[in-house]
């Protein structure tokens, strides 16, 4: 073989360049995520109470901080797996509340051993603001309400930071593409 095929070589080179760029992007994201986790770890140590976040813009400054709400009305109840402060497992009793002053939020009231919903009817709850999914937060009660057992305090170190693994994956994809293309050229 005297010449490289132009179009396949360009396509493979573009794909490899894209995969390498994605690998470096993931490395940059790793640094950003580490900085965010460090910022949240600092927030855990702050003792002052803050208003419960009502908008998406308020969430980043409120995560892992002390807050309180008044649950005017419970609109939903559920249980899910939960963990106590010493690693013990139980069922987290979670309610969705209409909040005093407007808005809704989930509140993790505490741990129980029974899946039966508790008879709590609402009221004031103190605790920590925790992530509840993309763009949502919940209050993890501390102290727990209605004779429930305490839940583990939200910890920013539990946030996933898989960006190094993703970067390695992209670099391996690029290497694999080069090796496969080289083998295909040799066979030709």
**Residues 79-126: tens digit of each pLDDT:** 999 999 998 999 999 999 999 888 889 999 999 988 888 888 989 999
Instruction: Please check whether residue 80 lies inside any domain of the structure.
Output: yes
| C-beta of residue 106 within 8 angstroms of C-beta of residue 95 | yes
172 and 117 inside one domain:
no
Instruction: Please check whether residue 46 lies inside any domain of the structure.
Output: no
In terms of C-beta density within 10 A (0-12 exposed, 13-18 middle, 19 or more buried), how is residue 109 classed?
buried
Instruction: Please check whether residue 128 lies inside any domain of the structure.
Output: yes
Q: How far apart are the first and last CA of the chain?
A: 7
**pLDDT computed for residue 45 by the predictor:** 78
Instruction: Please check whether residue 59 lies inside any domain of the structure.
Output: no
Structural domain including 97 reads 65-153
103 and 136 inside one domain:
yes
Three-state SS sequence of the chain: CCCCCHHHHHHHHHHHHHHHHHHHHHHHHHHHHHHHHHHHHHHHHCCCECCCCCCHHHHHHHCCCEEEEEEEEEEEEEEEEEECCCCCEEEEEEEEEEECCCCEEEEEEEEECCCCCCCCCCEEEEEEEEECCCCCEEEEECCCCCCCECCCCCCHHHCCCCHHHHHHHHHHHHHHHHHHHHHHHHHC
CA–CA separation, 71 vs 57, rounded Å?
22
User: Which positions ≥6 away from 44 have C-beta within 8 Å?
Assistant: 64, 153, 155, 156
Instruction: Tell me how many domains the chain contains.
Output: 2
Instruction: Please check whether residue 30 lies inside any domain of the structure.
Output: yes
**pLDDT computed for residue 33 by the predictor:** 92
Instruction: Please check whether residue 58 lies inside any domain of the structure.
Output: no
74 and 129 inside one domain:
yes
**pLDDT computed for residue 2 by the predictor:** 63
Instruction: Please check whether residue 43 lies inside any domain of the structure.
Output: no
Phi-psi map region of 73: left, alpha, beta (phi>0 left; psi -120 to 50 alpha):
beta
Instruction: Please check whether residue 57 lies inside any domain of the structure.
Output: no
97 and 130 inside one domain:
yes
**pLDDT computed for residue 90 by the predictor:** 92
**pLDDT computed for residue 56 by the predictor:** 85
Q: Residues of the chain whose pLDDT is less than 50?
A: 1
């Amino acid at each position: 073989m005297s010449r490289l095929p132009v179009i396949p070589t360009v396509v493979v080179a573009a794909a490899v360049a894209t995969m390498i760029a994605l690998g470096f992007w993931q490395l940059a994201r790793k640094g950003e995520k580490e900085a965010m986790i460090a910022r949240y770890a600092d927030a855990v140590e702050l003792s002052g109470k803050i208003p419960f976040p009502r908008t998406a813009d308020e969430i980043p400054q409120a995560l892992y901080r002390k807050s309180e709400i008044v649950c005017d009305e419970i609109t939903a109840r559920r249980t899910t797996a939960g963990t106590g402060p010493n690693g013990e497992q139980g069922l987290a009793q979670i309610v969705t509340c209409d909040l005093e002053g407007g808005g809704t939020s989930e509140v993790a009231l505490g741990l129980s051993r029974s899946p039966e919903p508790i008879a709590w009817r609402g009221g004031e709850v103190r605790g920590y603001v925790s992530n509840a999914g993309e763009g949502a937060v919940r209050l993890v009660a501390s102290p727990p309400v209605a004779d429930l057992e305490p839940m583990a305090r939200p910890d920013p170190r539990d946030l996933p930071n898989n960006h190094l693994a993703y970067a390695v994956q992209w670099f391996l994809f690029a290497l694999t593409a080069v090796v496969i293309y080289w083998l295909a050229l040799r066979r030709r």
